Amino acid sequence: MMNLRAPRHPSISYRPIQPTDLDVLVKIHSDLFPIRYEIEFFHNVVHGHDIVSWGAVDRNRPNGESDELIGFVTARIIMAKESEIEDMLRYDKSRSDQALVYILTLGVVESYRNFGIATSLIREVIKYGSSMPNCRAVYLHVISYNNSAIHLYQKMSFLCVRRLNSFYFINGQHYDAYLFIYYVNGGRSPCSPLELVTLLVTYMRRGLKLVSSRVWKKGEKNVGPKRVKYRDKVLFHFHHLNLV
């Protein structure tokens, strides 16, 4: 594990990843991830072959280290038609140039965490995707137990759209993954299954509110507690569905 100590007042700046970052990039990946990446992947990152990337450095580190990576994000452009989330996008299917940005890896060395570095790196990816008129979304997979990353994506308004059983196979064990999407340039499908459920629930809630307010208005003596009971029951289901 890279044993860096963050200075009291780090001065973080962001820049493209370049060939001189190769060794540090390999090291941080092997420190942070349980998956081993081929050397070809790192060469593609540092040379920008089919991969876009951003690095974070701390300008306040001692000379010689002030340009060393302490965080990174790597991503690839994928054609919407060839992606696994095609059914979750709104776009003109007759156009073959519609694209997505898929985040491959994201990491920040331990001593620099919770400074907002990953947030800024992801913002760069979103900015990049939004600047491509043919891009419809930024998306990624995250292993189901990675709470800090899940918290981060939720905080940044990514939508969790799927749980994929046994998506990862690591050291002889299967792990589920969540698929998170951040729509850009109007790429959001109006009819995803999750949205249909949300619409249905909103409709039911409105209906229930209307009925209960009418009953309430009638001023029956025993109506009060009953109303609360039913509402609580319904809300329990909403909470269960993570919809409120």
Ligand X SMILES: CC(C)(COP(=O)(O)OP(=O)(O)OC[C@H]1O[C@@H](n2cnc3c(N)ncnc32)[C@H](O)[C@@H]1OP(=O)(O)O)[C@@H](O)C(=O)NCCC(=O)NCCS
Query: Of 58-66, 141-149, 181-189, 205-213, which part binds ligand X (CB under 6 A)?
Result: 141-149
Q: How far is CA 45 from CA 37, 50, 63, 73, 153, in A?
A: 12, 8, 25, 10, 23
Cβ-based nearer residue to ligand X, 26 or 215? 26
Of 74 and 98, which has the nearer Cβ to ligand X?
Answer: 74
Mask: binding to ligand X, 142-161, rule CB under 6 A, as x and -? x---xxxx-xx--x------
Q: Which stretch binds ligand X (CB under 6 A): 57-65, 111-119, 171-179, 185-193?
A: 111-119
Site for ligand X contains 3 (CB under 6 A)? no
Give the integer Cα–Cα distance in Å for 84 and 6. Answer: 39
Q: Does 25 sit near ligand X (CB under 6 A)?
A: no
Which CB sits closer to ligand X, 147 or 165?
147
Among positions 6, 32, 78, 234, the unique one binding ligand X when judged by CB under 6 A: 32
Query: Interface with ligand X includes 113 (CB under 6 A)?
Result: yes
CB 116, min distance to ligand X, A: 4
Q: Which residues bind ligand X (CB under 6 A)?
A: 32, 106-108, 113-119, 142, 146-149, 151-152, 155
